[in-house]
Chain A
Amino acid sequence: DVVMTQSPLSLPVTLGQPASISCRSSQSLVYIDGNTYLVWFQQRPGQSPRRLIYDVSKRDSGVPERFSGSGSGTDFTLKISRVEAEDVGVYYCWQYTQWPHTFGQGTKLEIK
């Protein structure tokens, strides 16, 4: 199975400051079709997860531009350019390149 390792697991950030979450996979996430099926989700307290980024770097409709995804192969990053209060929650990376599909452990973002 592909193991997804996120860091840090806890991320205290000052409002207006940037934040960065790393996600590393134990195997390459490049599929035979050339695509990389790496997704980032945000889960606010008490809510269902919401997809922010798909295919490594494509932002979903309605997602603020301060969220961006990057990376390739086995190394991926979610960046928030300036953290706002509504960004509090847990962030997960997820790969669906290989069976079984697997999630990272989650990174809890909180405001300092």
Chain B
Amino acid sequence: EVQLVEWGGGLVQPGGSLRLSCAASGFNFSASWMTWVRQAPGKGLEWAAHISPDGGKTYYVDSVKGRITISRDNAVNSLYLQMNSLRTEDTAVYYCVNQGGMDWGQGTLVTVSS
């Protein structure tokens, strides 16, 4: 059974930092492109960041470039999202998603507010 479990969300002040983690199991993680998708409260889905299987290629939506870094550790089947200089508009549930959108985690809520 595929499992994607995210954690690390919480309340942070504008300008602050947060690191999200996602533990993956039940599929070949080291061969899978991985994605972080976010969803602001009551809004639609937004693709945020994407990483190649070996971690050598990363892609970001324009609104997070320079502030957010996606990374992975294939040795422990984990995906990460380092979020810096957070803004109120980054408030969202962040989902860990595997290749092709096949499986999603339960999401972790990030709230940026003073």
Contact = CB atoms under 8 A, between A and B. Distances in A.
Contact of A48 (B46, B102, B107): B107
A56 to B, nearest CB: 12
Interface string B72-114: 0000000000000000000000010000111111110000000
Name the interface size band of chain B: 20 to 34
Contacts, number: 52
A50 B44 contact: no
Interface stretch (A19-27, A72-80, A101-109): A101-109
A43 B62 CA distance: 25
Contacts of A99: 50, 59
Given A48-B107, A49-B95, A103 B44 contact: yes
A100 B61 contact: yes
B45 interface: yes
A104 B47 CA distance: 11
Interface in A20-75: 37, 39, 41, 43, 48-51, 54, 60
Interface residues of A, number: 22
B35 interface: yes
A106 B39 CA distance: 12
A78 B45 CA distance: 18
B107 to A, nearest CB: 6
Given A48-B95, A48-B106, A49-B95, A39 B100 contact: yes
Contact of A103 (B45, B100, B104): B45
Given A41-B45, A48-B107, A49-B101, 7 more contacts: A39-B101, A48-B95, A60-B102, A94-B101, A99-B50, A103-B46, A105-B44
